[in-house]
């Protein structure tokens, strides 16, 4: 039986140094691959490798590795990785590990700035998830028309500047669309201001009702598309309801 050679620490180090920078041929790589194929490392071994690895790497080294990694990935590769990870769910253990790893870490000013620059223009206009096909601009443009202002004034005069719900006269008054304005635009497929001016149902006085600002806020369609305002609106609505019940 052949006796196993025991290498001294120095000898091992020398071998290791000699191997630095040496390019392994494809053939050798294939051989190494074949030898190790199908071998499973025990948890103990894996832990040891990981620890050794971790211990030998300084923060600097890790940063460099990460940068190199990033640099060597083409856009294509990144896209593929990104697509591949879509819908993958992380296990509770992984999540917990990530949580612990990120604990107490704060983004540097540089990172925040980089993210800000990266996000510029990424979520504006059509790319935004709130995008409804440019109706906001059309909506605003129609509301700026003289005909619209006339419609509002006529509705208010007809209702004697009195809120249809709480019957308060004067104050800040709105004219509420019974059939939602945005819905009407969609229903009659209105794409331009000219279309809107020609569309008779849009200017139906029966579709308008004078409401005070507070009562208008209680309507379903008030700032419906403005999701940012929904939370304060809900708080406001409950406050108004509570106040009303006290007054009764
Ligand atoms: Zn009112």
Question: What residues are neighbours of ligand 1 (ion), with CB under 5 Å?
Answer: 163, 165-166, 212, 215
User: Are 26 and 32 in contact, with CB atoms under 8 Å apart?
Assistant: no
Distance (angstroms) between ligand 1 centre and the Cα of 209 equals: 11
146 in any annotated domain: yes
* Residue 219 burial (10 A CB sphere; 0-12, 13-18, 19+): middle
147 in any annotated domain: yes
Q: How far is CA 20 from the centre of its chain?
A: 45
Alpha helices in 159-248 (DSSP H): 181-187, 193-198, 213-217, 230-247
> What is the overall mean pLDDT for the chain?
82
Distance (angstroms) between ligand 1 centre and the Cα of 159 equals: 12
Q: pLDDT tens across 134-158, in order?
A: 667 788 888 888 999 999 999 999 9
Q: How many domains does the chain have?
A: 1
User: Are 173 and 157 in contact, with CB atoms under 8 Å apart?
Assistant: no
Torsion of CA 30, 35, 36, 42, to 10 degrees: -170
User: Are 236 and 217 in contact, with CB atoms under 8 Å apart?
Assistant: yes
193 in any annotated domain: yes
In this model, does residue 131 exceed pLDDT 50? Answer: yes
Distance (angstroms) between ligand 1 centre and the Cα of 211 equals: 5
85 in any annotated domain: no
15 in any annotated domain: no
Identify the band that residue 74 occupies on the pLDDT scale cut at 50, 70 and 90.
Answer: confident
Report which DSSP code applies to 24.
P
Distance (angstroms) between ligand 1 centre and the Cα of 160 equals: 13
C-alpha–C-alpha distance, residues 84 and 102, integer Å: 24
2 in any annotated domain: no
40 in any annotated domain: no
Q: pLDDT tens across 23-68, in order?
A: 888 898 898 888 888 888 888 888 888 888 777 778 888 888 888 8
Instruction: State both tokens at 130.
Output: 């709130």
76 in any annotated domain: no
Neighbours of 99 (CB within 10 A): 9
Distance (angstroms) between ligand 1 centre and the Cα of 169 equals: 9
Provide the residue range defining the domain that includes 153.
135-213
**What is the reported pTM?**
0.43
């Amino acid at each position: 039986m052949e006796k196993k050679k025991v290498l001294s620490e120095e000898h091992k180090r020398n071998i290791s140094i000699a191997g630095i920078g040496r390019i392994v041929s494809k053939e050798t790589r294939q051989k190494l691959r074949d030898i190790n194929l199908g071998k499973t490392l025990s948890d103990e071994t894996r832990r040891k490798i990981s620890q050794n690895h971790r211990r030998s790497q300084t923060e600097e080294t890790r940063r460099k590795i990460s940068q190199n990694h990033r640099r060597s990935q083409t856009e294509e590769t990144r896209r593929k990785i990104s697509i591949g990870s879509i819908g993958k769910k992380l296990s509770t253990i992984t999540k917990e590990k990530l949580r612990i790893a990120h604990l107490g870490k704060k983004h540097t000013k540089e990172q925040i700035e980089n993210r800000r620059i990266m996000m510029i223009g990424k979520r504006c206009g059509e790319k935004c998830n709130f995008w409804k096909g440019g109706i906001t601009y059309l909506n605003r443009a129609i509301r700026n028309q003289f005909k619209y202002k006339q419609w509002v004034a006529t509705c208010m005069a007809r209702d004697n500047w009195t809120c249809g719900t709480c019957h308060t006269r004067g104050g800040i008054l709105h004219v509420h669309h019974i059939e939602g304005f945005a819905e009407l635009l969609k229903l009659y497929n209105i794409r331009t201001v000219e279309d809107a001016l020609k569309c008779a149902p849009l200017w139906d006085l029966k579709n308008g009702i004078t409401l005070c600002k507070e009562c208008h806020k209680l309507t379903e369609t008030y700032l419906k598309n403005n999701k940012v305002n929904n939370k304060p609106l809900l708080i406001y609505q409950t406050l108004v309801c509570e106040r009303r019940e006290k007054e009764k």
